[in-house]
């Protein structure tokens, strides 16, 4: 099933057309979004998702989003979801109609079922290729207009990278900077385990500050792990006890193969790290 609610609080038919063809979100990808996991009827990390929506809006000079309205329509979608199971709940906010000085941003919440491929990957792990993202890790700070680290609707590059992964026989991607350091996945953050310590790359490299990685770190710390934010190299991925892609809908997904080479078996580490993450929402 799918449930759609607009920012003014109205429910709408998700199978009908609603967005104008001259909406800048459509014409230029000029807008932002969030994807929230709803499990057991509860939206995970709702506060951090709304904060990040506001942060992305500020980076794109969009009008400040009405976060209370976004929270209301998030709950409206959840309340109208009658199927069993989890929801992938998208919040979308665009600059609105092109050329209209009175134009108001377009905003909606859309609840979708979880893609079965994602559920399979959570359980079985994924094969990943590293791909060059083509910039230095310092670029985000030098060139804020490139919007690195904003969750903008311009995800065509991220989707192209996933198709390139498929061409290479893999399911996902880990982007690297031109200096060979690890950045993030097209729709995920990278976390590795070494001994009882988790590592993830710093956010000033232009990667998205992940709500899942933050929850994963909180849960791991409570379970006795040490957590660190440090630059990582591809060699660190190969020598790790576990490599994980973290994001709201995929949760903590294990990487079992990197650039065609199997990684050491991390099934047990994954079970432990995933359980620590889940305990944050129990």
Asked if residue 128 lies in contact with residue 192, where contact means CB atoms within 8 angstroms, the answer is no
Closest separation between CB of residue 211 and ligand PLP, Å? 3
In Å, how far from its chain's centre is CA 14?
Answer: 23
Residue 248 makes contact with ligand PLP by CB under 6 A: yes
Neighbours of 68 (CB within 10 A): 9
Closest separation between CB of residue 214 and ligand PLP, Å? 8
3-state secondary structure of 40: coil
End-to-end CA distance of the chain: 25
Q: In the set 25, 35, 86, 161, which binds ligand PLP (CB under 6 A)? A: 35
**Distances in Å between the alpha carbon of 198 and those of 18, 43, 207?**
44, 25, 18
Residue 31 makes contact with ligand PLP by CB under 6 A: no
Q: Which is nearer to ligand PLP, 239 or 279 (CB)?
A: 279
Residue 188 makes contact with ligand PLP by CB under 6 A: yes
Q: In the set 205, 247, 253, 266, which binds ligand PLP (CB under 6 A)? A: 247
Segment 83 to 142, residues that bind ligand PLP, using CB under 6 A:
none
Burial per residue of 196-221, b for 16 or more beta-carbon CB atoms within 10 angstroms, e otherwise: eebbbbebebbbbebbbbbbbbebbe
* Among the residue ranges 67-75, 210-218, 263-271, 274-282, the one whose residues contact ligand PLP (CB under 6 A): 210-218
Residue 56 makes contact with ligand PLP by CB under 6 A: no
Residue 210 makes contact with ligand PLP by CB under 6 A: yes
The rounded distance, in Å, linking the Cα atoms of 130 and 178 is 12
Residues forming contacts to ligand PLP in the complex (CB under 6 A) are: 35, 184, 186-189, 208, 210-213, 246-248
């Amino acid at each position: 099933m799918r449930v759609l609610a607009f920012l003014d609080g109205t429910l709408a038919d998700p199978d009908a057309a609603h967005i104008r063809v001259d909406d800048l979100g459509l014409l230029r990808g000029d807008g932002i979004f969030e994807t929230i996991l709803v499990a057991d009827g509860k939206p995970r990390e709702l506060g951090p998702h709304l904060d990040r929506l506001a942060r992305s809006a500020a980076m794109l000079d969009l009008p400040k989003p009405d976060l209370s309205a976004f929270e209301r329509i998030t709950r409206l979608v959840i309340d109208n979801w009658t199927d069993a199971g989890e929801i992938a709940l998208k919040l979308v906010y665009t600059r609105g109609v092109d050329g209209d000085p009175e134009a108001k941003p377009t905003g909606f919440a859309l609840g979708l079922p979880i893609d079965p491929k994602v559920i399979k990957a959570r359980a079985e792990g994924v094969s990943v290729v590293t791909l060059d993202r083509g910039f230095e890790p310092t670029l985000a700070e030098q060139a804020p207009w490139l919007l690195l680290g904003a969750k903008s609707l311009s995800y065509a590059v991220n989707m192209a990278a996933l198709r390139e992964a498929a061409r290479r026989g893999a399911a996902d991607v880990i982007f690297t900077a031109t200096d060979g350091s690890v950045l993030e996945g097209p729709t995920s953050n990278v976390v590795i385990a070494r001994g009882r310590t988790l590592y993830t790359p710093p956010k000033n490299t232009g990667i998205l500050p992940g709500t899942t990685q933050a929850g994963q770190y909180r849960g791991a710390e409570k379970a006795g792990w040490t957590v660190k934010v440090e630059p990582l190299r591809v060699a660190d991925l190969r020598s790790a006890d576990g490599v994980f892609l973290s994001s709201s809908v995929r949760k903590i997904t294990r990487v079992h193969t990197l650039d065609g080479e199997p990684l050491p078996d991390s099934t047990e580490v994954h079970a432990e790290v995933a359980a620590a993450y889940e305990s944050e929402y129990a």
